[in-house]
Amino acid sequence: MITAVLTFVSTAVFSQDSTVVRYRYQHELGIDVANILTFLKRNADSYLLNYRWHYRPNRAVRAAFNMALSDKSSMGLYPEGRLGHQWGAAIDNWRLYGGGDLYAAFGHHNNLSGSYWKLGIGPVVGVQYFFNKHISLSTEVTLNAFYSLPDDPKSFDPDADKTFYEFRFGSVGMFHINYHFGKKKL
pLDDT top residue among 79 and 19: 79
Give every CB contact of residue 101 below 8 A, 6+ residues apart in sequence: 62, 64, 82, 83, 84, 121, 122, 124, 142
Let me know: does 112 contact 141? Beta carbons within 8 Å: no
pLDDT score, position 15: 43
pLDDT score, position 21: 39
pLDDT top residue among 25 and 59: 59
Domain range for residue 8? 2-185
Let me know: does 165 contact 145? Beta carbons within 8 Å: yes
pLDDT score, position 22: 53
Q: What is the pTM of this model?
A: 0.76
pLDDT score, position 12: 44
Q: What's the average model confidence in pLDDT over 124-132? A: 94
Structurally, the chain folds into a number of domains equal to 1
Residue 136 CA to residue 176 CA, distance in Å, equals: 8
- Least confident segment among 12-16, 124-128, 181-185: 12-16
pLDDT digits (tens, 9 = 90+) for 26-84: 999 998 887 666 555 555 555 678 999 999 889 999 999 987 766 666 677 888 899 99
Q: Is the pLDDT of residue 178 over 90?
A: yes
CATH number at 111 reads: 2.40.160
pLDDT digits (tens, 9 = 90+) for 137-159: 999 999 999 999 888 777 777 77
